[in-house]
Copies of this chain bind each other. A is one copy, B any other.
Amino acid sequence: MLRIGLLGCGRIGQVHARSATHLDGVSVAAVADAFPEAAQALAAKTGATVMDPDALITSDQVDAVVIGTPTDTHYDLIHKASAAGKAIFCEKPVDMSADRIRECITAVEAANVPFMTAFNRRFDPNFANVQSRIKNGEIGDVEIVTIQSRDPSPPPISYVKSSGGLFRDMMIHDLDMARFLLGEEPISVFAVGSSLVDPEIGKAGDIDTAAVTLTTASGKICQISNSRRATYGYDQRIEVHGSAGMLRAENMLENSVEVANEAGFRRAPAQHFFLERYEAAYAAELKAFADGVTQGTPITPGIVDGLKAQLLADAAALSLEEKRMFSIG
């Protein structure tokens, strides 16, 4: 039995709590949140004990912590949980600062505790299927990776202002996906971006429309595009072109129904947003973490993956600012 202590009982914490209740051999033992009502509500649903974060982290009722609190709290919680010898599941980004992530890596490695950076999309059954088939050689050598990722609508401007910017908040998922699919580290980053969706985003110094090009040492290429708006739902597509074929994962639609009339053949919009679209991914992600911890097997993506995605996002931000390609590593 893996007893989980949940730090943060907001939307994502609730997702992980629900996943945990469906997993054999996993229980939610304790929950903590800055808002007591949020913690109590989740405790009622799961049978967990409400604790304050420090008590939770050091509780002998807790084997692993799931960190779903605001990003600026991750650093402290990771250090404390490492010190307490707990396995750590941490929402992305690990931290806004690459240097601070490096300090977290030092702490985690010193304590030798299991760590997962929660890049949930790696666990989407479709994307995971693509990656495993690449590894099995089904399309030969990877040559071009194309990632299209568009949110249904822009977040509130208050969120944008504290988000770290599109590259670190939104594209970081795609940058991790690029590493996952390329099977090789990017060595160059080039970014362009605009504010086309919401002028307030531009005024806040951020962009809402962006494209990034990555290359690897062997010459593989990845093109990513992002938009903060897609009228037809949450647009999440990947495509990998290889020497022996092409693999692609299309959008998941709200249902399988098609209507035909004078206007043609119409299917449903894409599933609206990440909670629906990645429901199966969230469940598979926590299961992979729990399996890794209980079986003592390696956990991927780890904290170093969190750092590498952050470094790519940082390079993209610099590339946009300086209008030039950046070399990495």
Query: Contact at A247–B243, with CB atoms within 8 Å?
Result: no
A159 interface residue (CB < 8 Å to B): no
A74 interface residue (CB < 8 Å to B): no
If A192-B190, A266-B266 touch, does A259 touch B221 (CB 8 Å cutoff)?
no
Chain B min CB distance to A91 (Å): 24
Chosen A-B contacts, 13 in total, with CB atoms closer than 8 Å, are A143-B197, A150-B241, A194-B215, A194-B218, A195-B219, A196-B220, A211-B213, A245-B259, A249-B258, A250-B257, A252-B256, A260-B270, A265-B269
- 9 closest A-B pairs by beta carbon, nearest first, are A194-B219, A245-B261, A232-B260, A266-B266, A246-B260, A126-B256, A265-B267, A264-B269, A231-B261
> Which of A222-230, A288-296, A301-309 lies at the interface with chain B?
A222-230
Interface residue from B146, B215, B254, B258 paired with A225 (Cβ < 8 Å): B146
Contact residues in B for A231 (Cβ distance below 8 Å): 244-246, 260-262
Chain B min CB distance to A165 (Å): 16
If A129-B257, A265-B253 touch, does A223 touch B225 (CB 8 Å cutoff)?
yes
Contact residues in B for A143 (Cβ distance below 8 Å): 194, 196-197, 209, 227
Contact residues in B for A220 (Cβ distance below 8 Å): 194, 196
Interface string of A309-329 (1 = CB under 8 A from B): 000000000000001110000
